[in-house]
Chains A and B, each alone.
Chain A
């Protein structure tokens, strides 16, 4: 099932659902015809769209709101905080092309602080599915919760079949005693490749698909610290994202661990087509594995598919 098929089904089953967009229609192209007045395109007006979503929610609607992740979370930030966050209204944010998915658009379109700023708003929950299969498994739970939510929309096709989603729980893929990789979003695919390389180099490797950054699965983080090394892998600034969440969690439980952050360190990434970006920034499965190992290997990097233009 695709994002649009799921949204269509849920909207048709629940009259309260209203689909909104700030003129980003890539993943909702059929909905104007299907939903009629329950589809609202406010034009390129992210702030007004969020304010209007809050008004609709006041009247009992559940607005599912679309824009590019950078503009949705940053341009409209105060509207999300003040109009959806303070009154705790069920405004559901769907951010397109988050993280590395913004390809060759450049820093203006790079949402790599979105997890940090969205999770800082009381009442707003934050989700980052690994791929389309994961996204579709998570969204009905996210959208039926009573609070505002921000989801990094990731429709990358996958052959991987994820486990059913449980609210606030991470997906445990594998456990290992040497190293455990904690990750979310499109880097899950590269983490899977890294795990295979690390295993063939003789390591015992764990992998966790975090899925929900807020609420976070604290137990999954604490369990990961049983291995010698924990890796936080994310297409996000190193501040405020998963690495920070892990640090906060460990401090809360008075624990420490050997944690290697693989993230964007205080700079925007070089724009280009997705496979080139991953390679240039050191985020392919092979590069991740070699960073963990501390040496080069002869393993081959599997082909990384181009991103489908979805603005």
Chain B
């Protein structure tokens, strides 16, 4: 099992991860807003919950994390660097044709279990892994992180039905509930609420928490499995762009390609210096 990190340690790691994300949001850019909402979740899971470390990546008894919301992969790259799963120098290769650090996850990066990018695929892949673990009598945990917008895809709900039918209490779906999909607020387009009720009606055991609060995360995941024979679902309420007030909860800052000066200003903003005045091109959202 990994060393469990303290809350202060995880906060420090998360801040570093946010810095990495800002540094990747230039020279072609990345899905900055979508990544920042997932940082604390991803950091918590790898730092304190999952049995995944640089020495057990091929061990069939390790835990599994599937990032179905693939465009928040910068949060994963940053966490891997901070926890020693990836060489920091590799972040410089973001979008380089010579490396594999691009806009969606791929298995050329040790620690990434499966590629993603097309939404609503990994809940079912995670079911396959969880089924096999059950068949073999293992006690490893399987996590699948989903975006809230991703829940538009019908396959997510098929997966909840199937996971329930097969009593997969070793499987946890974590919803990064940042209230946005690409262009707008989820509730303004395809409303999801009452979201917990939907999962409960489909047979899952559900907890809803603040996805930026490490003590709540710890309290919640320590209660795993939530209920015997039921799929676990964590709805983590998060903020798109968390950590950068100048892009926080802005529909037009889903994908960001900042200029060099903005990157410097935003790095200071992460430490509470100021709000950055952004001039780089943005998605035009109406």
Choose one: A29, A109, A273; the contact of B104 (CB below 8 Å). Answer: A109
Choose one: A26, A44, A271; the contact of B119 (CB below 8 Å). Answer: A44
Contact, CB under 8 Å: B118 / A71: yes
**Interface residues of B, dominant DSSP:** loop
**In the assembly, what is the distance between CA of A271 and CA of B117, in Å?**
13
Contacts of A299 in B (CB 8 A): none
Contact, CB under 8 Å: B117 / A272: no
Choose one: A48, A103, A272, A306; the contact of B154 (CB below 8 Å). Answer: A48
Does B232 belong to the interface (CB within 8 Å)?
A: no
CB distance from B232 to the nearest CB of A (A): 24
Does A23 belong to the interface (CB within 8 Å)?
A: yes
Contact, CB under 8 Å: A108 / B255: no
Interface size grouping (class) on chain B:
20 to 34
Does A311 belong to the interface (CB within 8 Å)?
A: yes
Does B70 belong to the interface (CB within 8 Å)?
A: yes
Which A140-172 residues have C-beta < 8 A from chain B?
none
Chain A residue with Cβ nearest B186: A43
Does A295 belong to the interface (CB within 8 Å)?
A: no
Contact, CB under 8 Å: B149 / A75: no
**In the assembly, what is the distance between CA of A47 and CA of B153, in Å?**
9
**In the assembly, what is the distance between CA of A198 and CA of B217, in Å?**
63
Which B179-216 residues have C-beta < 8 A from chain A?
181-183, 189-190
Q: A43-B149, A43-B190 are in contact. Are A23 and B181 (CB under 8 A)?
A: yes
Q: How many A-B residue pairs have CB under 8 A?
A: 92
Interface size grouping (class) on chain A:
35 or more
Chain A residue with Cβ nearest B96: A272
Choose one: A33, A43, A106, A306; the contact of B106 (CB below 8 Å). Answer: A106
CB distance from B217 to the nearest CB of A (A): 26
Contact, CB under 8 Å: A271 / B29: no
Contact, CB under 8 Å: A44 / B150: yes
Which A29-80 residues have C-beta < 8 A from chain B?
29-30, 32-33, 41-45, 47-48, 70-71, 75
**In the assembly, what is the distance between CA of A26 and CA of B255, in Å?**
12
25 contacts between A and B (CB under 8 A): A26-B283, A32-B286, A33-B286, A41-B189, A42-B152, A44-B120, A45-B190, A47-B154, A71-B118, A103-B28, A105-B117, A106-B106, A106-B117, A107-B106, A108-B115, A108-B116, A270-B97, A271-B102, A271-B103, A272-B95, A273-B28, A276-B96, A280-B97, A309-B255, A309-B257
Name 8 extra pairs, CB < 8 A, besides A106-B102, A108-B117.
Answer: A23-B183, A24-B182, A41-B189, A42-B152, A44-B120, A48-B154, A105-B104, A106-B104
Give the interface of A toward B (CB within 8 A). 23-26, 29-30, 32-33, 41-45, 47-48, 70-71, 75, 103-109, 270-273, 276-277, 279-280, 306, 309, 311
Give the interface of B toward A (CB within 8 A). 28-29, 70, 95-97, 100, 102-104, 106, 115-120, 149-150, 152-154, 181-183, 189-190, 255, 257, 283-286
In order of increasing CB-CB distance, the 5 nearest A-B pairs are A108-B117, A43-B190, A272-B97, A43-B152, A44-B152
